[in-house]
Structure 1
């Protein structure tokens, strides 16, 4: 299977993180892509603040998660040492797109607490999560922030039992296990995606539209939560879905499947089935809007549209209204909770009750919904 841009970005970031800095030409050679492709990747990552770029080279930003072995935060004693500060391990499925902000929030909170944060990336391979976490423990992690690389509904049962046996305090990030399962007893900090979907559907209805269509992926916990949140939002508002959910796939990995999804949306608009849509995620939404324009469907004139995630929605030709989960705050609150757990353990302060902290997304209104319908 061809490597996606997100996977290539993760490999690029891993190389720069390990070295601290690298020449763009060297990165192109090591990643096996053309100089044009790597320059485009570097530009994208630099705009999002994940890399610093200077005269043909890139470096790891000073305010980002530091390379392994670097000292950070108050009390740092030099490479590899952080005085008496805590060492926190973090497992994330990606260092780009959605989780870039989660990681940034975790790093900021760790730095304020005088702790060192060390990171491992799973590349959404849940079968490798356990081994990568063992690597964090071997590197000295005293507590864990864990966002497993689950992609499908069955992954928590197949690749989750090991988390409950970790020998250190653990906080789940942006993952909501089944109620009553062993994982459900862990601390966790999550975005309430159901609330985010309800905000989007209610906004479109308030503008005069009927129930919007949902076009969504099914390859991540967020996508699954958006789908279930859509059903719940329609129930709360007393609406019926205009038709079945349109299954979406990444355009770069499955162009034919993506085209089928866009054509299904176009047909729904032309036939009058729907005048509004919610699309997960906003990268897909931008590509959908571009393709719809080529097919004669204009946003927002013919279709009011809301994207989900709000990573790049504001950068579209027609800025997209988007649901924005509080990604950075998820990382910050999870880290603060973990530091509190470890501080209590060090001071023999006693164990506090486990916590499930749910943060609410917000709706950022832009141009893609147009004006209220008459």
Structure 2
């Protein structure tokens, strides 16, 4: 029993250290890193939440707001600002961005009004309009859909809103007078692709392919970066291949056939469900991963669930959310005296079993 308490205290201290460093933690990541069950991590979070040291959120925990900290009841600190946040999804990719934003907001005395828009431009406008019309927010953190023909029109409308705006994991394609004050912070997906290519070349691969999910904003950045890398002749191999759905066996079969014909020995696949589908199909047809074909996934949401576990590029989602709030507070305090900020944050490489060769190049 004494040993169990010691191990529990060690896990909880690790959990608190991760929170202090990143502002948010995910149950599944901690369970994997510490080699325990997700139920064990949830119990640790619950125990810390009872002491007011963390705030429970769906799938993990964040730093608590000042009013929920441990100690005797006290009057909550006055809210400095209220910021509206509209994101396209409240499950895949975005929970960590939101958790990072909430952690920064709690530390800075900012209230966040969160809305989801389901990748629908009309819903983007409706949710943004409701927040502005209510006259309860002093700023907006937005991730609108910018893939359609009306992207310029949407950005022009956003640029004319009565409150300052920071785009989250988005950016205008070009500067215009109405977008000159719109700021943005996003993951540097082009750099993420370069990191993946460097890793695979270091493992000895010279013919590398790229597989992209249809309709993803991230895919657009990866495709542009891929064209630049191919133009430098750094990765001879097939052109970027589009994959419609992770369960579409014909598409996966076509990808593997093209790899065989072009003698491609490594793939970078966006996103995790697609990468897992490719790895599963390889197992079914006798292609060894990573022996015959190395795979690097892009996103690292569920890459650790693959068989083998998938090496992945992990965008800094929590940090994107945190910095967006910090930039908004700076903008609200300093006004237009401060130059507009456009910030790229570097992803990281998480190396697992799907890309390692026994004798990497030196």
TM-score (norm 2): 0.76
**Are the aligned partners of 2:78 and 2:109 in contact in 1 as well (CA < 8 Å)?**
no
Superposition deviation, residue 279 in structure 1: 0.3
Q: After the TM superposition, which residues 342-357 of structure 1 pair with which residues of structure 2 at under 5 Å, given as runs?
A: 342-345=332-335, 351-357=337-343
1:188–1:272 Cα change, 3 Å: closer
Aligned pair 1:273/2:263, yes or no?
Answer: yes
**Are the aligned partners of 2:209 and 2:259 in contact in 1 as well (CA < 8 Å)?**
no
The correspondence for 2:227, drawn from 224, 231, 249, is 231
Deviation string, structure 1 residues 203-254 (Cα, Å, up to 9, x no partner): 1112111131111023121111011111122334x33542232211223xxx
Report the equivalent of 1:308. 298
Q: After the TM superposition, which residues 1-374 of structure 1 pair with which residues of structure 2 at under 5 Å, given as runs?
A: 62-64=55-57, 73-74=65-66, 83-137=78-132, 138=134, 140-150=136-146, 152=147, 154-181=149-176, 182-183=178-179, 185-236=181-232, 238-239=233-234, 241-251=236-246, 255=247, 258-271=248-261, 273-345=263-335, 351-371=337-357, 372=359
Deviation string, structure 1 residues 239-282 (Cα, Å, up to 9, x no partner): 3542232211223xxx5xx2222112221343352010000001
**Are the aligned partners of 1:216 and 1:281 in contact in 2 as well (CA < 8 Å)?**
yes
In the alignment, structure 2 segments of 5+ residues that lack a partner are 1-37, 47-53, 59-63, 69-75
Provide the aligned length of Structure 1 versus Structure 2: 301
Provide the rounded CA distance (Å) in 1 between the counterparts of 2:143 and 2:219: 15
**Are the aligned partners of 1:266 and 1:297 in contact in 2 as well (CA < 8 Å)?**
no
Provide the rounded CA distance (Å) in 1 between the counterparts of 2:217 and 2:41: 23
Superposition deviation, residue 47 in structure 1: 11
Provide the rounded CA distance (Å) in 2 between the counterparts of 1:202 and 1:233: 11
Runs of 4+ in 1 over 4 A off after TM superposition: 45-49
1:183–1:217 Cα change, 3 Å: farther
Provide the rounded CA distance (Å) in 1 between the counterparts of 2:342 and 2:138: 21
Provide the rounded CA distance (Å) in 2 between the counterparts of 1:204 and 1:266: 18
1:322–1:155 Cα change, 3 Å: farther
Provide the rounded CA distance (Å) in 2 between the counterparts of 1:234 and 1:163: 35
Provide the rounded CA distance (Å) in 1 between the counterparts of 2:328 and 2:261: 52
**Are the aligned partners of 1:122 and 1:149 in contact in 2 as well (CA < 8 Å)?**
no
Provide the rounded CA distance (Å) in 2 between the counterparts of 1:359 and 1:119: 23
**Are the aligned partners of 1:216 and 1:247 in contact in 2 as well (CA < 8 Å)?**
yes
Superposition deviation, residue 149 in structure 1: 2.7
**Are the aligned partners of 1:209 and 1:373 in contact in 2 as well (CA < 8 Å)?**
no
Q: Say which SS state the counterpart of residue 117 (structure 1) adopts.
A: strand
**Are the aligned partners of 1:143 and 1:169 in contact in 2 as well (CA < 8 Å)?**
yes
Provide the rounded CA distance (Å) in 2 between the counterparts of 1:185 and 1:141: 18
TM-score (norm 1): 0.73
Superposition deviation, residue 177 in structure 1: 1.2
**Are the aligned partners of 1:73 and 1:113 in contact in 2 as well (CA < 8 Å)?**
no
